[in-house]
Chains A and B, each alone.
Chain A
Amino acid sequence: MKSTLDHATLAEEFNKDEERVDWHDGALWWIRQKRDRSAHQTPQWEELREAASAIKSNVISNLHDYLIQFEENLKKNGVQVYWASDAEEHNQIVYSILKAKEIKQMVKSKSMLTEECHLNEFLEDRGIEVINSDLGEYIQQIDNEPPSHIVLPCIHKRKEEIGELFHEHLGTEKGLSDPTLLTRVARKHLRNVFLTRRAALTGVNFAVAETGEYVVCTNEGNADMGAHLSEVQIASMGLEKIIPERKHLGVFLRLLARSAIGQPITIYSSHYKKPRPGQEMHLILVDKGRSNLLARPDFRDSLKCIKCGGCMNTCPVYRKSGGLSYHNTISGPIGAILAPNLDMKQHADLPFASTLCGSCSNVCPVKIPIHDQLYKWRQEIVKQGYSASRKTFSMKAMALTLSSPEIYKTAGKTGRWLLNNAPFAINNKFNPWYKQRDMPDSSQQSFGEWYAKNGSKK
């Protein structure tokens, strides 16, 4: 499933079907517009963003204390707590919980963290079947493809393609693509899954240190259905999901769904606190690079992310290249600043998959300066030697040219002369600019030359 191709190559592939790009771009832009409308209808929207950012600053500055407080309260509530430093440890913990109860089937509601940890593959290798119960995740799972968006996992698929998948895997009538009918079919299949699974795993949107409860936000109620019917309930959360007090939900719940899809609030904001009689509750706190990120002052603000996906919907590069081009579980602008912290070499291309337009930072509900971090990751990646030597060579040549007024004048003249007298040297297939764009007109003298002749007369 891991791709070795870079974002530019995968994006070029995506762009071969322009009509599809237009459809994808339009679908996400429509969501961005919904976000704008609902933000406009919310009094003090910008103050809410500021408050959310400040609360999260407090959290990441005092993470240790909040985590200990959260753990204590979880235990008081009768929840079993585990700490996992990486994906392997996390997966082992889940496996051992299931093994102790001899459970062979589990239902999962959308959790990006377990996607990042490749939990499904890990458990399947050990004979445990996992079904993703969020509809979009379910569709991606039966297609054996990772999610392309953290909130809208199959946003890149058209309803006809989903109909085709359902025909193949769930035996629906060929050609059926009506979303309502397809959803009914999926619901019927999933209903049976919920009724028969003894274990349910959910992600966590907000973990309240003060009370030891955690909140899961969904629109489909699938997290609740799984959790309420299970005898073993497991929650996996990244360390950064902490909020200090329950009252802070009043800030975050107002921002989350509006930023994500322009909806005032998710249909379900479910609070989980104590196991029912006869039920077990387990919560796994996962580091997986978070404490490393905390140790990088330039990048630690990315731990504020509440995974709304707003930056993806607004990003023109994301909209026109598709989430799968980012070859990472978390795609788009936020993925491009989180991924290099985990593996700088493998994700060295992602911070460059941006024009640094800054729209992401403006929609971010917790005010992460995403585009500034993209710029800083570029510096870091080059410093660590993950940039192509060809690029380094041309950058050094450019630096030399631009630091000498004389060489610069000659180079400028030569460039313009070439364009005029030997355009084939520049207008060819080796020049990516020229592939779909003409070169600028270079028939005139430079301003510097003009000024030398005419400037003093002015």
Chain B
Amino acid sequence: MKIGLFIPCYVNQLYPNAAIATLELLQKFGADVTYPSKQTCCGQPMANSGYEHLTQSCNDLFVENFSGFDYIVAPSASCVLHVKDHLHSHADEAAATEIRGKIYELVEFLTDVLKIEKLEAHFPHKVGIHQSCHGLRGLHLAQMSELIAPDFSKPRHLLNMVSGLELTELDRVDECCGFGGLFCIAEEAVSVKMGKDRITDHTKHGAEYITSPDLSCLMHLEGILQRNKSKVKIIHIAEILNSSSIKA
């Protein structure tokens, strides 16, 4: 199984450990993983700001980097959703269409394609799950609180396989953290207030770590946690699922 590893721009620059954990985790399950070195970004920051028309060269580069793999996997729900919804190519639309159907966020790849039922991971901490909105309402990684439908959660399913880990509850199970791409800059006041309220929900239920399939949400929450000298940490879900090496 040939996998193209897509590490979104800000993960590449600022959260290399999450990327390394993703790579190692996929390799643990026997996947043949390649990281195309000329990749940059999915183009979402421009598109969500209303400049989708400027993303064509980004899209072309993406198609160039990720054609020919069985699957493309990324540790970021938001970027994966963007590619699924918006990747097009004038030069090779067939290749773009193929990529849109083959790209997976890490959690859904582990759950739906590799169908993981057992993990050798150990993480003896209280952990709260932050459902990224794009992962939840875009990729349907879990059931959404607004809909009347049976409950399920792919991140919870995987985290339940980690020994020592205790999941903490939330009052509002899937409320947005307020990151929202450039929203976090343009609407700074509301963005920060939303983030603070998410953090309070996690801390009052005793979480030591907040985890998510999306680092963009976590980066925003981390900024607020650190400014307020909180002991609570953020961690990408790949790092927890790959955490056997730090067995206590």
Identify the A interface with B (CB < 8 A): 7-8, 11-12, 14-15, 18, 21, 25, 29, 36, 39-40, 42, 45-46, 314, 316-317, 320-321, 351-359, 361-363, 375, 378-383, 387, 391-392, 395-396, 398-399, 401-405, 408, 412, 415-416, 432-433, 435-442, 444-448, 450-452, 455, 458
A402 touches B41 (CB 8 A): yes
B16: contacting residue among A36, A396, A403, A447, CB under 8 A: A447
Do the beta carbons of B227 and A437 come within 8 Å of each other?
A: yes
Residues of chain B with a CB closer than 8 A to A320's CB: 190, 193-194, 197
Do A46 and B55 touch (CB < 8 A)?
A: no
A175 to B111, CA, bound (A): 60
With both beta carbons as reference points, the residue of chain B lying nearest to A444 in the complex is identified as B16
Nearest B residue (CB) for A395: B51
A40 to B58 alpha-carbon distance, docked (Å): 44
Interface of A is mostly: helix
Interface residues, chain B, with chain A CB atoms under 8 Å away: 7, 9, 11-17, 19-20, 23-24, 27, 33, 35, 37-41, 43, 45-55, 57-58, 60-61, 133, 137-138, 144-149, 172, 174-176, 178-181, 183-195, 197, 219-220, 222-224, 226-227
- A359 contacts which chain B residues (CB < 8 A)? 133, 137, 144, 146, 174, 176
Chain A contacts for B190, CB-based, 8 A: 8, 11-12, 15, 317, 320-321
Q: Which 6 A-B pairs have the closest CB atoms?
A: A437-B223, A355-B180, A403-B57, A378-B50, A362-B146, A382-B50
A selection of 26 A-B contacts at a CB cut-off of 8 Å is A8-B190, A11-B187, A15-B193, A39-B148, A317-B178, A352-B186, A357-B137, A357-B176, A361-B137, A362-B146, A378-B48, A382-B51, A403-B57, A405-B37, A405-B39, A405-B40, A408-B9, A433-B223, A440-B14, A442-B13, A446-B13, A447-B11, A447-B19, A451-B23, A451-B35, A451-B37
| Residue from the list A14, A46, A432 in contact with B148, Cβ < 8 A | A46
Q: Is the CB of B41 within 8 A of A408?
A: yes
User: Is the Cβ of A316 less than 8 Å from the Cβ of B144?
Assistant: no
Tell me the minimal C-beta distance from B204 to chain A in angstroms: 14
B residues less than 8 Å from A21 (CB atoms):
193
| Most B C-beta atoms less than 10 A away, residue of A316, A437, A440 | A437
Name the B residues within 8 Å of A433 (CB-CB): 184-185, 188, 223
A446 to B20, alpha carbons, bound, how many Å? 10
Taking CB atoms, residues of chain A closer than 8 Å to B38 are: 405
Closest to B38 in A: A405
When distances are taken between beta carbons in the complex, the residues of chain A under 8 Å from B52 are: 379
A356 to B16, CA, bound (A): 27
Q: A330 CA to B169 CA in the complex, in Å? A: 35
With both chains docked as a complex, state the minimum distance between the C-beta of B242 and any C-beta of chain A, in angstroms.
13
Q: By the criterion CB–CB under 8 Å, are A402 and B40 in contact? A: yes
Nearest residue, chain A, Cβ from B234: A440
Q: In the assembled complex, which residues on chain B have CB atoms less than 8 Å from the CB atom of A353?
A: 187
Alpha-carbon gap, A314 to B172, bound state (A)? 11
Which single member of B12, B188, B224 contacts A448 (CB below 8 Å)? B12
A383 to B54, CA, bound (A): 11
Question: Which residue from chain A places its CB closest to the CB of B45 in the assembled complex?
Answer: A398
Q: Which chain A residue has the least Cβ–Cβ distance from B227?
A: A438
User: With the chains together, A398 CA to B40 CA distance in Å?
Assistant: 11
Interface centre among B17, B41, B187, B195 (most CB of A within 10 A): B187
CB closest residue in chain A, given B194: A316
Q: How far is the CB of A420 from chain B (nearest CB, A)?
A: 12
Tell me the minimal C-beta distance from A206 to chain B in angstroms: 24
CB distance from A10 to the nearest CB of B (A): 10
Which of A7, A314, A381, A438 contacts B226, CB < 8 Å? A438
Contacts of B222 in A (CB 8 A): 438, 440
- The reply to whether A362 and B186 form a contact with Cβ atoms under 8 Å apart is no
Q: Which of B11, B17, B23, B179 contacts A355 (CB 8 A)?
A: B179
Q: Is the CB of A356 within 8 A of B188?
A: no
When C-beta atoms are compared, the residue in chain B nearest to A15 turns out to be B189
What distance in Å separates the Cβ of A249 from its nearest Cβ neighbour in chain B? 22
Q: How far is the CA of A46 from the CA of B150 in the complex (A)?
A: 12
